[in-house]
Chain A
Amino acid sequence: DAGVIQSPRHEVTEMGQEVTLRCKPISGHDYLFWYRQTMMRGLELLIYFNNNVPIDDSGMPEDRFSAKMPNASFSTLKIQPSEPRDSAVYFCASSQGQPNTEAFFGQGTRLTVV
Protein backbone atom coordinates (compact mmCIF):
# COMPACT_ATOMS: atom_id res chain seq x y z
CA ASP A 1 0.00 0.00 0.00
CA ALA A 2 1.24 3.49 -0.81
CA GLY A 3 0.23 4.85 2.55
CA VAL A 4 -2.11 7.74 3.21
CA ILE A 5 -2.20 10.01 0.20
CA GLN A 6 -3.08 13.67 0.45
CA SER A 7 -3.53 16.20 -2.29
CA PRO A 8 -2.52 18.79 -3.05
CA ARG A 9 0.79 19.03 -1.18
CA HIS A 10 0.67 22.79 -1.35
CA GLU A 11 -2.22 25.16 -1.88
CA VAL A 12 -2.13 28.92 -2.11
CA THR A 13 -5.46 30.67 -2.37
CA GLU A 14 -6.97 34.08 -1.91
CA MET A 15 -9.11 34.96 1.03
CA GLY A 16 -12.75 34.19 0.37
CA GLN A 17 -12.09 31.34 -2.01
CA GLU A 18 -13.21 27.77 -1.45
CA VAL A 19 -10.49 25.25 -0.67
CA THR A 20 -10.83 21.48 -0.85
CA LEU A 21 -8.25 19.13 0.60
CA ARG A 22 -8.32 15.47 -0.32
CA CYS A 23 -7.27 12.29 1.40
CA LYS A 24 -7.06 8.64 0.43
CA PRO A 25 -6.63 6.44 3.51
CA ILE A 26 -4.85 3.12 3.65
CA SER A 27 -7.03 0.34 2.33
CA GLY A 28 -8.74 -1.59 5.11
CA HIS A 29 -8.47 1.16 7.68
CA ASP A 30 -11.76 1.95 9.37
CA TYR A 31 -10.80 5.26 10.94
CA LEU A 32 -9.86 8.50 9.25
CA PHE A 33 -8.66 11.59 11.06
CA TRP A 34 -8.16 15.20 9.96
CA TYR A 35 -5.63 17.27 11.91
CA ARG A 36 -4.48 20.87 11.58
CA GLN A 37 -0.98 21.88 12.60
CA THR A 38 0.07 25.45 13.37
CA MET A 39 2.91 26.94 15.34
CA MET A 40 0.53 28.50 17.82
CA ARG A 41 -1.84 25.59 18.44
CA GLY A 42 0.20 22.51 17.56
CA LEU A 43 -1.64 19.47 16.23
CA GLU A 44 -5.39 19.79 16.58
CA LEU A 45 -7.84 17.01 15.84
CA LEU A 46 -10.53 18.52 13.67
CA ILE A 47 -12.80 15.58 12.91
CA TYR A 48 -12.65 11.84 12.57
CA PHE A 49 -14.69 9.16 10.87
CA ASN A 50 -15.38 5.52 11.60
CA ASN A 51 -16.62 3.45 8.68
CA ASN A 52 -17.28 6.65 6.74
CA VAL A 53 -19.47 8.11 9.49
CA PRO A 54 -18.36 11.27 11.32
CA ILE A 55 -17.88 10.39 14.98
CA ASP A 56 -16.63 13.61 16.51
CA ASP A 57 -16.42 16.97 14.78
CA SER A 58 -16.02 19.03 17.94
CA GLY A 59 -12.61 20.16 16.77
CA MET A 60 -13.88 21.81 13.61
CA PRO A 61 -13.25 25.48 14.26
CA GLU A 62 -16.18 27.06 12.45
CA ASP A 63 -19.05 26.40 10.13
CA ARG A 64 -16.75 27.39 7.31
CA PHE A 65 -15.13 24.00 7.72
CA SER A 66 -16.81 20.83 6.55
CA ALA A 67 -15.62 17.28 5.96
CA LYS A 68 -17.08 14.35 4.10
CA MET A 69 -16.24 10.73 3.55
CA PRO A 70 -18.43 9.45 0.72
CA ASN A 71 -16.71 6.07 0.68
CA ALA A 72 -14.01 4.08 2.43
CA SER A 73 -11.26 5.30 0.12
CA PHE A 74 -11.80 9.03 -0.02
CA SER A 75 -12.36 12.01 2.23
CA THR A 76 -12.42 15.75 1.75
CA LEU A 77 -11.97 18.72 4.03
CA LYS A 78 -13.49 21.90 2.67
CA ILE A 79 -13.08 25.46 3.81
CA GLN A 80 -15.55 27.97 2.43
CA PRO A 81 -14.84 30.84 2.53
CA SER A 82 -11.17 30.63 3.43
CA GLU A 83 -9.44 33.17 5.66
CA PRO A 84 -5.75 33.97 6.27
CA ARG A 85 -5.96 32.43 9.76
CA ASP A 86 -6.77 29.09 8.14
CA SER A 87 -3.19 28.93 6.89
CA ALA A 88 -1.70 25.76 8.34
CA VAL A 89 -0.59 22.27 7.47
CA TYR A 90 -3.51 19.86 7.32
CA PHE A 91 -2.83 16.20 7.94
CA CYS A 92 -4.97 13.23 7.22
CA ALA A 93 -4.38 9.96 9.07
CA SER A 94 -5.97 6.55 9.06
CA SER A 95 -5.97 3.57 11.38
CA GLN A 96 -7.59 0.23 11.88
CA GLY A 97 -9.02 1.58 15.09
CA GLN A 98 -8.10 -1.54 16.99
CA PRO A 99 -6.42 -1.28 20.38
CA ASN A 100 -3.11 -2.53 19.08
CA THR A 101 -2.70 -0.34 16.03
CA GLU A 102 -1.54 3.17 15.40
CA ALA A 103 -2.47 5.99 13.04
CA PHE A 104 -0.59 6.41 9.78
CA PHE A 105 -0.17 9.94 8.52
CA GLY A 106 -0.10 11.47 5.10
CA GLN A 107 2.51 14.01 4.08
CA GLY A 108 0.14 16.87 4.74
CA THR A 109 -1.22 19.77 2.72
CA ARG A 110 0.35 23.14 3.37
CA LEU A 111 -2.39 25.72 2.94
CA THR A 112 -1.62 29.40 2.57
CA VAL A 113 -4.49 31.86 2.39
CA VAL A 114 -3.43 35.34 1.27
Chain B
Amino acid sequence: AQSVTQPDIHITVSEGASLELRCNYSYGATPYLFWYVQSPGQGLQLLLKYFSGDTLVQGIKGFEAEFKRSQSSFNLRKPSVHWSDAAEYFCAVDSYSSASKIIFGSGTRLSIRP
Protein backbone atom coordinates (compact mmCIF):
# COMPACT_ATOMS: atom_id res chain seq x y z
CA ALA B 1 0.00 0.00 0.00
CA GLN B 2 1.18 3.48 -0.70
CA SER B 3 2.23 5.78 2.12
CA VAL B 4 3.57 9.27 2.54
CA THR B 5 6.04 10.43 5.17
CA GLN B 6 6.70 14.00 6.16
CA PRO B 7 9.48 13.74 8.72
CA ASP B 8 9.31 17.33 9.94
CA ILE B 9 6.35 18.12 12.17
CA HIS B 10 7.16 21.79 12.63
CA ILE B 11 9.66 24.09 10.93
CA THR B 12 10.45 27.72 11.68
CA VAL B 13 12.30 29.88 9.18
CA SER B 14 13.03 33.57 9.02
CA GLU B 15 11.17 35.75 6.59
CA GLY B 16 13.17 35.98 3.39
CA ALA B 17 15.03 32.74 4.02
CA SER B 18 14.80 29.72 1.78
CA LEU B 19 12.57 26.78 2.61
CA GLU B 20 12.58 23.06 1.94
CA LEU B 21 9.89 20.72 3.23
CA ARG B 22 10.58 17.04 2.94
CA CYS B 23 8.29 14.35 1.61
CA ASN B 24 9.00 10.68 1.00
CA TYR B 25 6.58 8.21 -0.50
CA SER B 26 6.33 4.48 -0.64
CA TYR B 27 4.84 2.96 -3.74
CA GLY B 28 5.91 0.39 -6.31
CA ALA B 29 5.34 2.46 -9.41
CA THR B 30 5.57 6.17 -10.08
CA PRO B 31 2.74 7.77 -8.17
CA TYR B 32 0.99 11.01 -8.78
CA LEU B 33 2.29 13.51 -6.24
CA PHE B 34 0.82 16.66 -4.77
CA TRP B 35 1.54 19.40 -2.29
CA TYR B 36 -1.37 21.10 -0.57
CA VAL B 37 -1.40 24.04 1.83
CA GLN B 38 -3.89 24.60 4.62
CA SER B 39 -4.26 27.96 6.31
CA PRO B 40 -5.83 28.02 9.79
CA GLY B 41 -9.53 27.22 9.68
CA GLN B 42 -9.48 26.63 5.96
CA GLY B 43 -9.65 23.72 3.59
CA LEU B 44 -6.73 22.46 1.54
CA GLN B 45 -5.49 24.29 -1.51
CA LEU B 46 -3.35 22.68 -4.18
CA LEU B 47 0.12 24.19 -4.55
CA LEU B 48 1.47 21.93 -7.29
CA LYS B 49 1.35 18.44 -8.70
CA TYR B 50 3.55 15.98 -10.54
CA PHE B 51 2.33 13.34 -12.92
CA SER B 52 5.10 12.84 -15.46
CA GLY B 53 7.68 14.68 -17.51
CA ASP B 54 9.94 17.34 -16.07
CA THR B 55 10.82 16.34 -12.53
CA LEU B 56 10.94 19.96 -11.36
CA VAL B 57 7.44 21.37 -11.16
CA GLN B 58 6.39 24.91 -10.52
CA GLY B 59 3.37 25.80 -8.45
CA ILE B 60 1.49 28.77 -7.17
CA LYS B 61 2.82 31.34 -4.70
CA GLY B 62 6.41 30.82 -5.85
CA PHE B 63 6.68 27.21 -4.71
CA GLU B 64 8.38 24.42 -6.61
CA ALA B 65 8.99 20.73 -5.97
CA GLU B 66 11.38 18.18 -7.37
CA PHE B 67 10.54 14.53 -7.93
CA LYS B 68 13.50 12.24 -7.29
CA ARG B 69 12.68 8.64 -8.10
CA SER B 70 15.95 7.29 -6.70
CA GLN B 71 15.17 8.81 -3.31
CA SER B 72 11.39 8.35 -3.45
CA SER B 73 11.14 12.01 -2.56
CA PHE B 74 9.11 15.00 -3.59
CA ASN B 75 10.45 17.93 -1.57
CA LEU B 76 8.81 21.32 -1.64
CA ARG B 77 10.97 24.43 -1.93
CA LYS B 78 10.68 28.18 -1.97
CA PRO B 79 13.67 30.51 -2.38
CA SER B 80 12.34 33.27 -0.12
CA VAL B 81 9.45 32.84 2.27
CA HIS B 82 6.94 35.49 3.22
CA TRP B 83 5.06 35.82 6.49
CA SER B 84 1.89 34.82 4.64
CA ASP B 85 3.40 31.40 3.93
CA ALA B 86 2.85 30.37 7.54
CA ALA B 87 0.48 27.41 7.27
CA GLU B 88 0.32 23.63 7.34
CA TYR B 89 1.71 21.85 4.30
CA PHE B 90 0.65 18.39 3.19
CA CYS B 91 2.27 16.07 0.73
CA ALA B 92 -0.07 13.57 -0.92
CA VAL B 93 0.14 10.60 -3.27
CA ASP B 94 -2.38 9.06 -5.61
CA SER B 95 -1.44 5.62 -6.78
CA TYR B 96 -4.16 5.57 -9.43
CA SER B 97 -3.80 1.84 -9.94
CA SER B 98 -7.33 0.59 -10.40
CA ALA B 99 -8.89 3.71 -8.98
CA SER B 100 -7.90 7.07 -7.69
CA LYS B 101 -7.02 7.05 -3.97
CA ILE B 102 -5.32 10.06 -2.46
CA ILE B 103 -3.34 9.55 0.73
CA PHE B 104 -1.88 12.41 2.73
CA GLY B 105 1.21 12.75 4.85
CA SER B 106 0.96 13.93 8.43
CA GLY B 107 1.75 17.50 7.50
CA THR B 108 4.45 20.03 8.34
CA ARG B 109 3.55 23.19 10.16
CA LEU B 110 5.54 26.17 8.92
CA SER B 111 6.11 29.18 11.15
CA ILE B 112 7.78 32.34 9.93
CA ARG B 113 10.12 34.31 12.16
CA PRO B 114 9.92 38.08 11.56
Contacts and interface: CB of A to CB of B under 8 A. Distances in A.
A45 B101 contact: yes
Contacts of B99: 31, 50, 55-56, 97
Contacts of A48: 100-101
Contacts of A114: none
A71 interface: no
Given A99-B51, A106-B43, A42 B102 contact: no
A34 B71 CA distance: 30
A91 B43 contact: yes
Interface residues of A, number: 25
Contacts of A106: 43
Contacts of B106: 42-43
Given A42-B106, A100-B51, A107 B100 contact: no
B44 interface: yes
Contacts of B104: 35, 42-43, 45
A43 B101 contact: no
Interface string B88-114: 001000001001111111110000000
A99 B43 contact: no
Given A4-B43, A31-B99, 9 more contacts: A42-B104, A43-B107, A45-B102, A48-B101, A100-B51, A105-B43, A107-B43, A108-B42, A108-B43
5 contacts: A42-B104, A55-B101, A91-B43, A102-B46, A103-B34
Interface of B: 32, 34, 36, 42-46, 49, 51, 90, 96, 99-107
The 8 closest A-B pairs by CB, nearest first: A105-B43, A43-B104, A42-B106, A97-B100, A105-B44, A107-B43, A102-B46, A100-B51
